[in-house]
Structure 1
Amino acid sequence: MNKPSSLIVTRRALMQALGAGAALAAMPGLAGRAFAQEKLKVAAVYTVPFEQQWVSRIHQAALKAKDHGDIDYVATENVSNTDYERVMREYAEAGNKLILGEVFGVEEAARTVAADYPDTAFLMGSSFKPDDAVPNFAPFDNYIQDASYLTGIIAGAMTKSKNIGMVGGFPIPEVNRLMHAFMAGVKETAPEAKFQVAFIGSWFDPPKAKETAFAQIDAGADVMYAERFGVSDAAKEKGVLAIGNVIDTQKDYPDTVVASALWHFEPTLDKAIAEVKAGTFKAADYGMYSFMKEGGCSIAPLGTFEGKVAAEVMAKVAEKEKAIKDGSFTVAINDEEPKSS
């Protein structure tokens, strides 16, 4: 994804913004303050590049809201964990009323910052739950297990070796639950399937993910679950199939990526923007807005694989999708670390 220069915020630019935002810093708190008649100032702090799968969905949703005229938006990418707190504070001091980010490695520090700026709303990717002691800090998560389950049904139908490779970043709940849902879907169409599960210990290390995928393919995997960038590259080079996660890469791997579970951050962000503007933002769990019935996830079009997946399999996918949306079927949420089998 291209990185708009206007969004890459330097320390100098932030310091200049402090003077302009001094008056805003003295504004009343969240409670009872409405922003309906003005653009909401939104900032984001990301530990990885804008194009990384997970962050790209947040970034794109914010850019869309900016294009619609709902918000003003600035963001900083590639912020180290040791620098994360400083950037959060600078954005809060600059008068931003909603700050987005992912605080998996800096949870305690991020909540401390939020407590120090009660007039600012913080909507952060987190494995932990809301805490009433920090009423302006709301966690979200990519609960896209519904879509992951559906892609698993397709993967189970496409594997010939009944050996599935899975490469993830870290074994944390937001990764674990997607892997478990995918595995449950595979079992729907390939109950005898086995799984090779590995974690690379990084959110963005395509070469390492690629090498890990190579090893699993050499060990017999003919379908790869690409939770990280780099896995689909390995699958392409080895001539096996892949299932995408969070974003749609089918056009980049037309002969490799069969299906993808997509995350749509728009429902989560839209809810937060509305709450901040209404002065009602609070320490709530925003994870639910990633569920399929809330419009937070979907299965990507098959693209070049349209017609190559058996009709009865796609009928099963459609049936399960309908049941998920109407509430008659619930995909289990399992946050435990998945193991090879």
Structure 2
Amino acid sequence: MIKTCPVSRRRLLASGAAAALVAGLAPSRLLAAEPLKVAGIYTVPVEQQWVSRIHKAAEAAVARGEIEYTFSENVSNTDYARVMREYAEGGVQMLVGEVFGVEQEAREVAAEYPNVAMLMGSSFKEDPALANFSVFDNYIQDAAYLSGIIAGAMTKSGSIGMVGGFPIPEVNRLMHAFMAGAREIRPDIRFQVSFIGSWFDPPRAKETAFGMIEAGADVMYAERFGVSDAAKEKGVLAIGNVIDTQADYPDTVVASALWHFEPTLDRAVAAVKAGTFKAEDYGVYSQMIHGGCSLAPLGTFEGKVPEAALKLVAEREAAIRSGSFVVAINDDEPKSS
């Protein structure tokens, strides 16, 4: 399904402006004069946590008049390359999306359309030989670590359940950071870790979480949708990931590690308009020091989290923002205790 933001226009740029994007060289005067044509290609609904942050950032750029934005959601991996080509042929100047399951095919398409800038979520690094293909990932381990400190202070059983989609680097590093934070408060804490083999299967995530709760977990790390539903039904707590769902689970979700995609997208758009877009890793802009992630406000859990944990969170956050404390990045698959 292809959708367009209400304020977007479906038209091509002047052919000269589009062609001059080759090798990352854009006619900055022409591009700066009008919004950049951007298309998002997503394998899941835009409501899904991870994709929703890209979508939100794009809509904000639309509201500022910086881009025109069209998107396709629920695109299968087998159809991803075709949709990329369709947008490239249609005159889009920049593609944004996630190619974790189609790395090789996506890069082949990028080589076919060197005049189209591509900013893609990827588990791999950029290739200097592919000048128009940049990568990013949600390196929000800083916020995940801080949320782990809170989780460690809130568990009474000393057992935390963690349900993820797939054991890929961008999930693994967040889980490890969360676990490290929890151990700061309670070194003997135990973790139950499981992956459901899907990016969007709330029923499966919920059932997996039920099993962990029955095995003693009283705090759940909700990397996937469905986990907080199980926590709510069973009367245990949950820690959110990427988005803040506390409004939907006011008595369940204590805190969340939030991803802000705006620093990533805004830099990429500016680079295309300036004619300086090139193959690089934009993952760094997801880090807290660049405003790419944060810990959600406690909201309904104000006054319910132990002061010692809040003090440690404040100290660590200040150190992370100053650069004096670095949360370790561990991309290895996490295991149950």
TM-score, with normalisation over the residues of structure 1?
0.94
1:31 equivalenced with 2:28 (yes/no): no
1:88 equivalenced with 2:80 (yes/no): no
8 Å CA contact 2:18–2:93 kept in 1: the answer is no
- CA deviation string 1:122-152 (max 9, x = no partner): 0000000000121110000000000000000
Note the 1:54-73 alignment, pairs <5 A. 54-73=50-69
1:259 equivalenced with 2:255 (yes/no): yes
* Structure 2 residue identity aligned to 1:220: G
Count of residue pairs the alignment pairs up:
331
Matches of 2:194 and 2:301, distance apart in 1 = 27
Matches of 1:33 and 1:23, distance apart in 2 = 12
Q: Secondary structure at the match of 2:310?
A: helix
Q: Secondary structure at the match of 2:194?
A: strand
Of 208, 213, 225, the residue aligned with 1:212 is 208
8 Å CA contact 2:260–2:293 kept in 1: the answer is yes
8 Å CA contact 1:7–1:76 kept in 2: the answer is no
1:105 equivalenced with 2:70 (yes/no): no
Deviation, structure 1 residue 95: 1.0
Q: Cα RMSD (Å) of the superposition?
A: 1.8
Partner of 1:303: 299
1:191 equivalenced with 2:187 (yes/no): yes
8 Å CA contact 2:257–2:295 kept in 1: the answer is yes
- CA deviation string 1:183-233 (max 9, x = no partner): 000001111100000000000000000000000000000000000000000
Of 272, 286, 293, the residue aligned with 2:289 is 293
Deviation, structure 1 residue 312: 2.0
Structure 2 alignment gaps of length 5 or more: none
Q: Secondary structure at the match of 1:224?
A: strand
8 Å CA contact 1:267–1:289 kept in 2: the answer is yes
Deviation, structure 1 residue 25: 8.2
Partner of 1:11: none
* Structure 2 residue identity aligned to 1:31: L
* Structure 2 residue identity aligned to 1:174: E
Partner of 2:133: 137
Deviation, structure 1 residue 283: 0.5
Note the 1:245-256 alignment, pairs <5 A. 245-256=241-252
* Structure 1 residue identity aligned to 2:233: E
Matches of 2:219 and 2:317, distance apart in 1 = 22
User: In 2 relative to 1, CA 6–132 (structure 1 residues): closer, same or farther, beyond 3 Å?
Assistant: closer
Matches of 1:228 and 1:33, distance apart in 2 = 42
- CA deviation string 1:10-66 (max 9, x = no partner): xxxx9xx68x56836862223142111211000010000000000000001000000
Query: Hey, which bits of structure 1, 4+ residues long, moved more than 3 A?
Result: 3-8, 20-26
Deviation, structure 1 residue 311: 1.7
Partner of 1:322: 318
* Structure 1 residue identity aligned to 2:238: A
Matches of 1:104 and 1:206, distance apart in 2 = 20
User: In 2 relative to 1, CA 25–85 (structure 1 residues): closer, same or farther, beyond 3 Å?
Assistant: farther
* Structure 2 residue identity aligned to 1:241: L
Structure 1 alignment gaps of length 5 or more: 9-13
Matches of 1:27 and 1:66, distance apart in 2 = 23
- CA deviation string 1:86-124 (max 9, x = no partner): 110111111111100000000000000001100110000
Partner of 1:269: 265
Matches of 1:22 and 1:300, distance apart in 2 = 43
Partner of 1:149: 145
Of 170, 173, 178, the residue aligned with 1:177 is 173
Deviation, structure 1 residue 313: 1.2
Of 244, 261, 281, the residue aligned with 2:277 is 281
Deviation, structure 1 residue 300: 0.1
Q: Identity of aligned pairs, percent? A: 71
TM-score, with normalisation over the residues of structure 2?
0.95
Matches of 1:256 and 1:91, distance apart in 2 = 42
* Structure 2 residue identity aligned to 1:70: E
